Amino acid sequence: MITVSTDGSCLRNPGGAIGWAWANHDGSSASGGHASGTNQVAELMAVLEAVRSHPGDQPLVIQADSLYAIKCSSEWVAGWKRKGWRTAGGGPVQNLALIQSIEAAIATRPGAVSFVWVRGHQGDHFNERADELAGIAARNVRDGAPVPVPVVAAQPEPDVLF
């Protein structure tokens, strides 16, 4: 099983520079950003990039402090899809392209994807790391510094002989 924490950052919501990040519990991580967005877009980008960066057949657990990102990715998506990508009230789904990309990434991934909510800013090491990386990415975009922060590739676990 792979466990990854995700987070997003928006320096001025809406319209400010955004950053996203994932931090794998094995120590690898990645982050990136865009010049303008919302906190919700940043959170969804973090989930999307976490799924895309872990394409294998091992189960993937995504820990996030955003209930919005979790519910968009795991609960609400099926109903929206069934209703032609409309909300219960009949309106358009916000951030549709990102949500559809997450849904497609999860659907094509051989291993299962599940989500766990964690309370943000409460000392969870990996949540704090993802938060830190997302903030750095957003500030780098704002300041014109290089983005994304380089990916540190996850190392496969060695075979254990008994």
State the catalytic residue, choosing from 37, 43, 54, 103: 43
From the list 4, 6, 37, the residue with the least C-alpha distance to 120 is: 6
Does the active-site annotation cover 7? yes
State the catalytic residue, choosing from 8, 16, 19, 32: 8
State the catalytic residue, choosing from 16, 19, 37, 131: 131
Q: Which residues contact residue 25 at a Cβ distance below 8 angstroms, ignoring those fewer than 6 apart?
A: 2, 3, 4, 5, 126
Taking the C-alpha atoms of residue 26 and residue 158, their distance in angstroms, rounded to an integer, is 13
State the catalytic residue, choosing from 33, 65, 103, 135: 65
Length of the chain as a residue count:
162
Taking the C-alpha atoms of residue 62 and residue 142, their distance in angstroms, rounded to an integer, is 27
State the catalytic residue, choosing from 57, 91, 121, 123: 121
Does the active-site annotation cover 34? no
Taking the C-alpha atoms of residue 39 and residue 41, their distance in angstroms, rounded to an integer, is 6
Does the active-site annotation cover 43? yes
- 95 token code pair: 């951030």
Does the active-site annotation cover 124? no
SS3 state at 92 = strand
Does the active-site annotation cover 26? no
* 131: amino acid identity, one letter: D
Does the active-site annotation cover 121? yes
Which residues does the annotation mark as catalytic?
Answer: 7-8, 43, 65, 121, 131
